Structure 1
Amino acid sequence: MSENINNRSKGSQHGSDEAIQPANKEQRKEEVSWKIFFIWTLVFILIFGAFVCLDLAYEKPLYKETQKFLPDIQDKNSFMDYFMVIIGELGESFGIIATCWIAANILPFSESCFLLISVGACLYINGILKILYHAPRPFFDTPKIEALSCSTSYGNPSGHAMYFSFPFPLVFILLFRSQIKQKKYILPAIFGALTIAICGLALFGRIYLGVHSVDQVIYGCTLGLTLLVYFVFVLYKPLMGYIHMFTRRKCSRNEMIVHLSINLLMVLLVLTTIAVIAYVLNITTHDDPSEWNTAVELKCSKSNLKENSIFVRKALRNIFAPIGIFGCFGGIILYSYYAPTIVDKYLNNNVWVVLGRLGVSLLCMLPFVPLLLIPSSAPFVVLLIFAELLMSFSFTIVLYFLGRLLMVKIKLFTPVKDVEAEIEMSDNKVEASH
């Protein structure tokens, strides 16, 4: 009898050991993954820092070569002037809005958040580096180079080059994965071809327009590709795990939105503090040459420029500008995630209902219209953000709701949110039948 009891106790102890072992293995895997994450993060910081230091110490012969050959290129064809300006706009507000639209409409919730974080990191890092480098654009200090597209922020690194080498390829990667799973090949093929064509034209266009030199474009591409590799191979799993941790909490939707909002505000507060510190360091330790202001006044037909402030003010505005767009699309993504019965079932959306929501959304923007009257010489730079972003807000809202209508009518692709909703509904029906 005692032997049977001992055998049972040994068996139960053996079973408990087997149950503990998988948990220990999973814990070890998590510890190893976090160690790998921190190691690769340290390697990334060291490589990134070394690259920045080398660029600061470099004498920039490519910048001087750009000053020599660019005046001859700009005199060749007047049609190219307008064409390159249009292509350049694809890397600014339109490109950002298109990227966020794809995140809000096509990608799953977690990947939508990951894409927005990546876009925000790209634009933020670019703005901070421009303030720290305070490097001129070619038309600032070269009288023969025309300003075919007036940009009054600093020139290095190229924001377009960073954007076209980081968020655009990332959109293609995420879009390719989500659509191939559904055996949809048209949208990834179209977006991939457009990405390659637009990126090549835009990078050449930044040099042609006189707003960037060859070395600034190369530097922007290098930084963008470095960030792409780091985000895809190092940050993807930790960020996705962090997003899933929030979405799978056992709490109400209102509590979830409060948690996400608080964390988002904390991150924005830290990033804003860093940007303000960089801004203060620049205006207190560095004076831009007066020739730069003179060149902007003459070539861009601008007057009443505040000496030694316009370039860093513009760079600071470029840092804060994405916050408004991300806030707008972040609200849309949260809305689409936490209201699936309204947003995700596109086929049940009446056209007039969607247009009604569009009208209400635009009416909500009316109280902010007076902000457009703020002059460009306003002393408080933060006020300019609202005036600059009001049109972006309106455009993103219109684009979002019109995109909904196009998806209902054309049915070019099936959003992942729809597929997940259909699977969940079918699973519920099967459980109910059993």
Structure 2
Amino acid sequence: MNKLILSALFTLVIIAYIVIDIVFNDEIWEASKTMALSMQQTIPVFEKLVYEFFTYIVFIPPIAAFYCFIYDNNKLNSLLYLSVVVISVTMNEILKNIYHQARPYMIEPDIKSLRCNSDFGKPSGHAQNSLVMLILMPVLLFPSIKQLRRHRVQDEYQKKIEKKENHTGYTISNLDKLDLENSSLQDDTIIQSKSKIAIKILLIAFILLSIIMTGISRIFLGVHSIGQVVLGWVWGLYITLMYIFVIHSSLKEQIQKLLSPQKNRFAEMNYLIPLALLILLIIIGLSIGLLILNDKVFYEDLEMDKWITRINECTSQNYTRTSPQILFNSCFQFTLIGAIITGLIVGAVLAQGVYDEGIFNKWRNNIPWQYHMKRLLLLLFPFLILIPFLFIRSDNVIVESSCKTFPMSFGAGFIITGVYPYLLRRFNLQIPGDFLFLHLRKQFPNDQGYNDIQKQIFEFSDSYR
């Protein structure tokens, strides 16, 4: 189906649900209140631990993305995955500042808060972001799972056929044996296919269970209503479907062309930096507008003083309306993590490296573990520079955001695509297939027993000169 038609279809569906959500908002809130009170009548330790687990499950996919970026061929997809997640988080915070709806525990005295979140509640960030992360994880990070078992069987079958073709002749017993082995391989293929189906079913079941339980856990913890959770799911599904069916293939193809080893196209990338900065400025401008609107227009009407009182009771803090951790101020801060994408783009353009997808694992398997540890440390070490920003504190949300959230977010993106490739080349630790592989490598470490791979690396490097 045409991408334009798909975009229109997805957009119409989400608009329809937004209208339904607005019309039935009060009814959904009352149903959510009844559900939360019922769930919180008794809070067994085990039940609480289960809900807490699904609240924290959103940290698993970023770890998987980190693994793919460091140890797998799928480096570009891992960065695209990170970017989509960042976009989802940023969009969620903007939507919260548009809806400016309180969390249940802030306005319902009978509902206990077991998490004490202090920003607005609609739509649920956990519901939205968990759906985006968990559905995109197998799609972007591990797309080969569904083919892995089948390819192994096909390779075995092909090797045995080739081995038989080397015979000069066949006796009756030879042919019988060959038929028997082929029959055995066919049975093995059926078994492997069943295993593949079982793995896929288990994976899908786990993803669906995690998404549903994450949403339910937020209701149980008193920090979201049913309407907030469902709206989060709807927005998360919209972002996911739009990216998978409309954006991903075209975007990835364009990036691969720009970073192609066969042709230097860096001059064509120069427009990306001002484009990224322009988009970031638009997001910041929109966020500041919503920040002012909530502070000057909606604050008194929405009785936010009462909400802040409940937050202080829950957190044992003394927050005021100007505190960066509160309501619209908190939402504004989180929109600035969108600077991660700007940092990724600026770093990639300035690094002027290349990316040849699919060849990293060929070289990785021949590298000693000490070599991998050095590469990992070179990625983590620059992040130490960002630690001092964590200790910046201010009662002014603009100051804290511009001096803390923004530099940390931009710096994280820039380190991944700009600083890290440079350090790998500087310390002679590059591997073909890295994102990004920089020109004019010096030499591969002359580790004993790796002379053959050293020769291959030199030959590979010469192709870039």
- TM-score (structure 2 length as normaliser): 0.65
Give the superposition deviation at 1:190: 6.8
Bigger mean CA deviation after superposition, 139-148 or 97-106:
97-106
User: Which runs of no fewer than 5 residues in structure 2 stay unpaired?
Assistant: 153-195, 421-432, 438-452, 461-465
**Does the alignment pair 1:291 with 2:257?**
no
Match in the other structure for 1:411: none
Contact 1:60 1:215 in 2 (8 A): no
AA matched with 2:252: M
The change in CA–CA distance for 1:133 and 1:171 in structure 2 (over 3 A counts) is same
Report the Cα distance in structure 1 between the residues aligned to 2:110 and 2:411, rounded to whole angstroms. 34
**Does the alignment pair 1:78 with 2:58?**
no
Contact 1:325 1:392 in 2 (8 A): no
Report the Cα distance in structure 2 between the residues aligned to 1:390 and 1:301, rounded to whole angstroms. 32
Match in the other structure for 1:115: 81
**Does the alignment pair 1:317 with 2:333?**
yes
Match in the other structure for 1:267: 279
Contact 1:155 1:212 in 2 (8 A): yes
Structure 1 SS opposite 2:36: helix
Match of 1:172 among 124, 138, 142: 138
Give the superposition deviation at 1:133: 0.4
Give the superposition deviation at 1:351: 2.5
Q: Deviations over 1:285-341 (max 9, x none)?
A: 211421100000001222133259720111122222354488579969999964889
**Does the alignment pair 1:205 with 2:217?**
yes
**Does the alignment pair 1:125 with 2:91?**
yes
Contact 1:371 1:386 in 2 (8 A): no
AA matched with 1:225: L
Structure 1 SS opposite 2:365: helix
Contact 1:85 1:149 in 2 (8 A): no
Match in the other structure for 1:137: 103
The change in CA–CA distance for 1:145 and 1:276 in structure 2 (over 3 A counts) is same
Match of 2:291 among 263, 276, 279: 279
Report the Cα distance in structure 2 between the residues aligned to 1:84 and 1:124, rounded to whole angstroms. 25
- TM-score (structure 1 length as normaliser): 0.69
Give the superposition deviation at 1:244: 3.9
Give the superposition deviation at 1:70: 1.9
Contact 2:261 2:356 in 1 (8 A): no
Structure 2 SS opposite 1:177: coil
Structure 2 SS opposite 1:355: helix
The change in CA–CA distance for 1:361 and 1:226 in structure 2 (over 3 A counts) is closer
Structure 2 SS opposite 1:121: helix
Contact 1:97 1:325 in 2 (8 A): no
Match in the other structure for 1:407: none
The change in CA–CA distance for 1:85 and 1:341 in structure 2 (over 3 A counts) is closer
Q: Deviations over 1:3-32 (max 9, x none)?
A: xxxxxxxxxxxxxxxxxxxxxxxxxxxxxx
The change in CA–CA distance for 1:358 and 1:104 in structure 2 (over 3 A counts) is closer
Give the superposition deviation at 1:101: 4.2
Q: Deviations over 1:220-256 (max 9, x none)?
A: 2222223333332333343334334423497537657
Match in the other structure for 2:444: none
Match in the other structure for 1:224: 236
Contact 1:246 1:260 in 2 (8 A): no
Aligned length: 373
The change in CA–CA distance for 1:240 and 1:353 in structure 2 (over 3 A counts) is closer
Aligned counterparts, 1:348-359, within 5 A: 348-359=366-377
RMSD: 4.5
The change in CA–CA distance for 1:89 and 1:305 in structure 2 (over 3 A counts) is farther
The change in CA–CA distance for 1:173 and 1:353 in structure 2 (over 3 A counts) is closer
Match in the other structure for 1:8: none
Contact 2:25 2:227 in 1 (8 A): no
AA matched with 1:157: P
Match of 1:63 among 4, 29, 33: 29
Report the Cα distance in structure 2 between the residues aligned to 1:341 and 1:230, rounded to whole angstroms. 26
User: Which runs of no fewer than 5 residues in structure 1 stay unpaired?
Assistant: 1-32, 401-416, 430-434
Match of 2:382 among 355, 359, 364: 364
Match in the other structure for 1:243: 255
